[in-house]
Amino acid sequence: MILAHLPRFHLSILAKPSFSLSSSHFSFLNPKPSVTVSRTLFSFASKSNLATVEPNPLSVSDSTDLDDAPVEIALDKLFIPPETDISGEDSASLTTRILKGSNIVLSKYARDAQVVQADYVKSSVKTEDCPADGLPEFALVGRSNVGKSSLLNSLVRRKRLALTSKKPGKTQCINHFRINDKWYLVDLPGYGYASAPHELKQDWNKFTKDYFLNRSTLVSVFLLVDASIPVKPIDLEYASWLGQNQVPMTLIFTKCDKRKKKKNGGKKPEANIKEFQDLIQGFFETTPPWIMTSSVTNQGRDEILLHMAQLRNYWLKH
Ligand code: GDP
C-alpha cells in the first residue's frame, strides 16, 4: 500500500477551503482549517484522464500494479484547490476526485491539460530577460541528477526537448518552453553540483531566488525530490526557503519506480517520501501538493498536467 504510513491526524478540515491569495499566487501558508467534518481517512486509487475534467471512478480490481493499490491519506493532508468545496462529499465521491499517487483534489479548473505543442523559446540569465508576454508558467527545479530533464521530456512527450537545457552555456540559464502557445514550462538550473565552484553556486542561488521572488507570472514552483534515495539536507533547505518566502510549491517525487531492497539498507520511495514530508511539515501551515512520479513508467505524468491545468486556469481567472 502506497504511503500507508502517512501521518494520521486527528482530522479537522474546513468545510470550505479558505486559501488566501497573494496578487498572483496560491498561498499554502494560511491558518489551519478549523471546521471539523469527520475522522474518516480517505483511500484513493483513481486513474486520471487528461481528456476530461471529471476524474474516473475508483478502479483497483483490474490491476496488479503496485501504483494502483489504494492509498490512505488524512483529510487535512489533502491539497484542496481554491473554490473547491468538499464539504458535501462522502468518502467514496471524494476518493474519485483525488489524483492518483498524490494528495491533490481535482477542481472545476482542471481542463485543457493535454500538451499538443512544445517549443523551446529562449534561455535567460536574468529574470528581466524572461519572456514578457504575460503567459503563466511553472518552474521545474531540483538537485542535479534528480531526473528533471527526463520529467520535462516525459511531460511534453518528446525525447530530447530538454536536451536544450543541457547544452553548454544553457545549464545556468532560465530556459523557457512554450506549451500550446498558452503557457510555459521553465527549466531552472539544477542545484547541488558537488564539483561546482563556491562562487558559481552562490551566483545560481542568487539568480534563482531572484526569479522566484520577482517573476510575476510564476504560478508554482515544482520542486523535484529523488524518492529513491534518503532525504538530502539541500532539498530540505530549498523547500524551507520556498515555504518561508511564501513561494507556491508543488513537490514532485521522482524515480518512484526504483524499489530498493531493505536488506541492502535502502528505503523504499514511500519511506523516503514520508520522511521528507515529516521534515518539511514545520515550514508550511498547510500541506503542499505532492505527486509521485516516474519517467520510466510515466507514473504521475497526467496527474502533473492536470494539477498544472487547474492552477493555471484558476490563475488566469483571477
Ligand atoms: P537531471 O540532471 O535532473 O536533468 O536528470 P536526468 O533526467 O538527466 O536523469 C538523471 C539520471 O536518472 C539518468 O540516468 C536517468 O536515466 C535517471 N532517471 C531519471 N528519471 C528517472 C526515473 O523516473 N526512474 C529511474 N529509474 N531513473 C530515472
One digit per residue, the tens of pLDDT, for the chain of length 318 reads 333 333 322 222 222 333 322 333 333 333 333 222 232 333 333 344 454 333 332 222 233 344 445 567 888 899 999 999 888 888 888 888 999 999 999 999 999 999 999 999 999 989 999 999 999 999 999 998 999 999 999 999 887 776 766 776 667 889 999 999 999 999 998 887 666 666 666 666 788 999 999 999 999 999 999 999 999 999 999 999 999 999 999 999 999 999 766 655 677 898 999 999 999 988 888 899 999 999 999 999 999 999 999 999 999 999
State the distance from the centre of ligand 1 to the C-alpha of 149, rounded, in angstroms. 7
Q: What pTM was computed for the model?
A: 0.80
Query: Would you state the pLDDT for residue 214?
Result: 97
Q: Are 211 and 126 in contact (CB under 8 A)?
A: no
What H or E segment, with its residue span, contains residue 97?
none
Ligand 1: residue of 145, 154, 155, 232 to mutate (most ligand atoms within 8 A of CB) is: 145
Q: Who contacts 209 (Cβ-Cβ below 8 Å, separation ≥6)? A: 241
The protein residue whose alpha carbon is closest to atom 20 in ligand 1 is 147
Q: Who contacts 145 (Cβ-Cβ below 8 Å, separation ≥6)? A: 190, 226
Q: Which residue ranges form the domains of the chain, and what is each CATH number?
A: 108-317 (3.40.50.300)
* Chain center to CA of 87: 24
Query: Would you state the pLDDT for residue 76?
Result: 87
- Angle 227-230-235 from CA coordinates, rounded to 5°: 75
State the distance from the centre of ligand 1 to the C-alpha of 171, rounded, in angstroms. 16
Query: Would you state the pLDDT for residue 301?
Result: 97
State the distance from the centre of ligand 1 to the C-alpha of 226, rounded, in angstroms. 9
State the distance from the centre of ligand 1 to the C-alpha of 128, rounded, in angstroms. 31
**Beta 42-44 vs 71-73: how paired, if at all?**
antiparallel
Looking from the CA of residue 297, the nearest atom of ligand 1 is 23
d(CA 97, CA 47): 10
Pocket of ligand 1, beta carbon within 6 A: 142, 144-150, 190, 254-255, 257-258, 294-296
d(CA 242, CA 223): 9
